[in-house]
Chain A
Amino acid sequence: MEKQRKKDLETNLNLPAPASWRRRTMLVFLYKILWRTILGVVIGLRYLGVNKNQPDGPVIYIANHNSHLDAISMMTVVPRHRLHLTHSVAAQDFFGNSFFRQWSMENLVNAVLISRKRREDQVDPIEFLDGLLQAGRSLILFPEGTRGVAGSMGDFKRGVGHLASRHPGIPVIPIYLDGLYRNLPKGRAMIVPFGGNLIMGEPLVFGDEDVDEITLRTQKALEVMAQELRDANRV
């Protein structure tokens, strides 16, 4: 029954099919072993507050966005058994314009591409993401919508608010990414290790708050985490 409903959703909204076992193994190797080692040992990323007992169902991960390493580093803290069910949400207009980019995003990052602008002839991107949550998938969202200015956080778009208010009870896990923009800034192709911090905050669970309030509260949560990190090491 439940399975059939998920299947229908997948076909109606044209959701990506669940990953094959080959792709699952590849994702676990890629993120839990390879990238985890590169990020931890070579780049020197410090993981803080990573929750080992994350909920077993769909989750919305949100983070500030400055670098292509952001989605990769967030995939390394997703629980192993949820990895193939977790989709980074990426911009169609940026990643969809070359075959190689699109292929690697969809196959290596397990991402879904959505258009940043709503268009008449396409499914509303929010409907699409909504369907993914209904089908039991987790999402990695960057609510700023763009990588923006290095080292600073822009205002959040309302997408995260829409999704969380339509799915009360689905936890929103805020992750503050500090310093990854130094390792791979916008417009550069080469990673130069400079360290950084990945801080996972307490899950936020929303009830019947309205869209703007949820958006504001998620943004506030990340800003507080950023401030705490800055204050921790002052003379």
Chain B
Amino acid sequence: MNKLISSWGMNAELQWVIFIILCILVVSSTAWFILGRLKPSKLATELQVRTRSWWVMCACFIVTTLVHPLVTVLGLMYLSYALLREMYPLLKLDARERNVVLVCYATVPIQYGLAYFGMKTLFLAFIPVFMFVFIPFLLVVRGETKGIVRSISLMPYSLVAWVYGMSHLALLFQLPESAGSTAGPQGLLLYLIFLVGMNDVLQFAWGKILGRRPVLPTVSPNKTWEGLIGGVLSITLIAVAMRFLTPLNVWQAAIVGFVTAIAGFMGDAIASGIKRDIGIKNSGHAIPGHGGYLDRLDGFSAAAAPFFHLIFFFCYS
């Protein structure tokens, strides 16, 4: 078994984090099962469905992360594409702008390709510099100016928020080996996924236990100050405890955890605002108990780029 694991290139740190994830899943599944048996309620059923989806998501994340960097990049690429595909009809960009939407879809493989083949400068510039000019120009070239201010604002935003941000996770594989860590890019990727995932869970949990004062009452009534502060503090501690996956020292890990948690919260809040304006509860139905792709990935897409740049600043510059 050990031989098999090491032939995959899986080292002790990765085994540890996978073990921790499995423990959390087993414990929470059992807890919600018992809760549902003792006191059947809507919350218990919802928690069971959510945990079941977490099992599937964790399995997908872990397997795609460990198999090969190419598989990881393709998986992330599909997530970005699914986010765009889910949001464009909701943002009403599906009728007059459909040909430009096709160009937006085409930027996804290009951006992830730049990450996979390590063209870092072009990667950083492609969407915010080139596409930022090209997409509005394409919208103008159609010769139709009705509602163009709206689409000129939305389409580059959608690319930056859901493609550019997420694609930084693929760029993690381009970081050179560093002295402080043996877990490599897979370790960093699992570290971020673990932090943001736990951030959502813990903010929800702290909010359910202690939550009194809503932080954004008009946008998302379920988010409370207690949940936010409790979540951010616990994530900072978890980030320090799990820093064996990264080359960070204690203080750096604390800062990374703090920033990731805050960025995750911000992404969540932005997505809530967008959904509230559109007038929907969930962005879709792809993930049972969670909603659509955006409902689950809002935190990841906002936290990925800050996370990458902090790691780069601390360890590689």
Would you call B102 and A235 a contact (CB within 8 A)? Answer: no
> Which residues on the B side are within 8 Å of A182 (C-beta)?
89, 94-95
- A171 to chain B minimum Cβ distance, whole angstroms, is 27
- A 170-196 binary contact with B (CB < 8 Å = 1; else 0): 000000000100100100101011110
Q: Which of A44, A46, A195 has the most CB of B within 10 A?
A: A195
Q: Which residue of A lies closest to B280 (CB)?
A: A233
> Which residues on the A side are within 8 Å of B99 (C-beta)?
190, 192
Bin chain A's interface residue count.
10 to 19
> Which residues on the B side are within 8 Å of A194 (C-beta)?
85, 88-89, 94, 101
> Which residues on the A side are within 8 Å of B280 (C-beta)?
233-235
- B 79-97 binary contact with A (CB < 8 Å = 1; else 0): 0001001101100001100
Among the 9-residue stretches B6-14, B118-126, B281-289, the one with 4 or more Cβ atoms under 8 Å from chain A is B281-289
> Which residues on the B side are within 8 Å of A190 (C-beta)?
99, 102
CB neighbors of A among B267-300 (8 A): 276, 279-282, 284-286
- A144 to chain B minimum Cβ distance, whole angstroms, is 21
Bin chain B's interface residue count.
20 to 34
**Bound complex: CA of A158 vs CA of B280, how far in Å?**
37
Would you call B282 and A192 a contact (CB within 8 A)? Answer: no
> Which residues on the B side are within 8 Å of A188 (C-beta)?
98
- A235 to chain B minimum Cβ distance, whole angstroms, is 5
Contact of B86 among A44, A192, A233, A235 (CB under 8 A): A44
Contact of A192 among B82, B102, B285 (CB under 8 A): B102
Q: A182-B94, A235-B276 are in contact. Are A195 and B85 (CB under 8 A)?
A: yes
> Which residues on the B side are within 8 Å of A195 (C-beta)?
85-86, 89, 284
Would you call A234 and B85 a contact (CB within 8 A)? Answer: no
- A 191-235 binary contact with B (CB < 8 Å = 1; else 0): 011110000000000000000000000000000000000000111
Q: Which residue of A lies closest to B275 (CB)?
A: A235
CB neighbors of A among B211-255 (8 A): none
**Bound complex: CA of A46 vs CA of B284, how far in Å?**
10
**Bound complex: CA of A190 vs CA of B101, how far in Å?**
12
Q: Which residue of A lies closest to B82 (CB)?
A: A44
B132 interfacial by beta-carbon distance below 8 Å: no
- B97 to chain A minimum Cβ distance, whole angstroms, is 10
> Which residues on the A side are within 8 Å of B55 (C-beta)?
none
**Bound complex: CA of A188 vs CA of B101, how far in Å?**
15
CB neighbors of A among B97-127 (8 A): 98-99, 101-102, 105
Contact of A193 among B105, B276, B281, B284 (CB under 8 A): B105
> Which residues on the A side are within 8 Å of B102 (C-beta)?
190, 192
**Bound complex: CA of A194 vs CA of B281, how far in Å?**
19
**Bound complex: CA of A235 vs CA of B273, how far in Å?**
12
- A8 to chain B minimum Cβ distance, whole angstroms, is 49
**Bound complex: CA of A192 vs CA of B89, how far in Å?**
11
> Which residues on the A side are within 8 Å of B82 (C-beta)?
44
Q: Which residue of A lies closest to B101 (CB)?
A: A192
> Which residues on the A side are within 8 Å of B279 (C-beta)?
234-235
> Which residues on the A side are within 8 Å of B98 (C-beta)?
188, 192
CB neighbors of B among A11-53 (8 A): 44, 46
> Which residues on the B side are within 8 Å of A179 (C-beta)?
89
> Which residues on the B side are within 8 Å of A185 (C-beta)?
95
- B3 to chain A minimum Cβ distance, whole angstroms, is 35
- A 151-180 binary contact with B (CB < 8 Å = 1; else 0): 000000000000000000000000000010
Q: Which residue of B lies closest to A232 (CB)?
A: B285
Q: A182-B94, A233-B280, A234-B280 are in contact. Are A46 and B86 (CB under 8 A)?
A: no
> Which residues on the B side are within 8 Å of A44 (C-beta)?
82, 85-86
- A41 to chain B minimum Cβ distance, whole angstroms, is 8
| Residues of chain B at the chain A interface (Cβ within 8 Å) | 82, 85-86, 88-89, 94-95, 98-99, 101-102, 105, 276, 279-282, 284-286
**Nearest 9 Cβ contacts at the A-B interface:** A182-B94, A194-B89, A192-B98, A194-B94, A235-B281, A44-B85, A233-B280, A193-B85, A192-B102
- Other A-B contacts than A182-B94, A195-B86, A233-B280, 6 sampled, CB-CB below 8 A, are A46-B286, A192-B94, A194-B89, A195-B284, A235-B279, A235-B281
A-B contacts, 7 of them at CB < 8 A, read A182-B95, A192-B99, A193-B85, A194-B88, A194-B101, A195-B284, A235-B281
